[in-house]
Amino acid sequence: MERKPRGFWTKGSGKKIVDHFVQGKMDEAKAVVALREACLEAGMEGEYELSDTTLRDDLHWYAREARKYLRETRSGKAQVEPSVPEFERTTVGQAGRLVIPAAYREALGLKEGDEVTLWLGEDELHVIPSDRVLKRAQALVRRYVPAGHSLVDELIAERRQEARRE
């Protein structure tokens, strides 16, 4: 998982930006820029994906949680602020099965049957929803492909040229 400084989203800069976004004091584009700056100030560079896609996804997830918390608080249901524990222990089960705790599944938007991508860090196992892997890959490619340029059209043109030569 990506590591974030403790409290960044629940008490720190991230929470303030999300609150401004939820209250309509800041639009999405400005919130994403502010989040990037706050992440850099918090030293999250290199540990946390700072792409627009990831920042936007996180902004919307925390905004949904903030709105849900406000609704529950007004209705008298919630007494404590929602948060995802930074660390949680779990046990490897039969056949190597690993149960992802509910708070983490909810934070990642995972439901039964969803695909995840795993990779090994130095001595860590990382789990990321497969749809986010695709979004990250697309964001990386977008950095190197000029606007209005279609890689698909380029590939099709190359294949047609190859077919004509044969």
Listed in sequence order, the residues at least 6 apart from 112 whose beta carbon sits closer than 8 Å to its beta carbon are: none
39 within some domain? yes
Q: Which residues pair with 125 in a beta bridge?
A: 120
Give the whole-angstrom CA distance, residue 4 versus residue 54: 13
69 within some domain? yes
Based on the domain organization, do 77 and 133 belong to the same domain?
A: no
**Number of domains comprising the chain:** 2
Task: Say how many C-beta atoms besides its own lie within 10 A of residue 59's C-beta.
Answer: 22
Q: Name the pLDDT band for 6 (thresholds 50, 70, 90).
A: low
Instruction: Please tell me which residue, 30 or 72, carries the higher pLDDT value.
Output: 30
91 within some domain? no
**What predicted TM-score, i.e. pTM, was given to this entire model?**
0.43
Residue 135 domain boundaries: 105-166
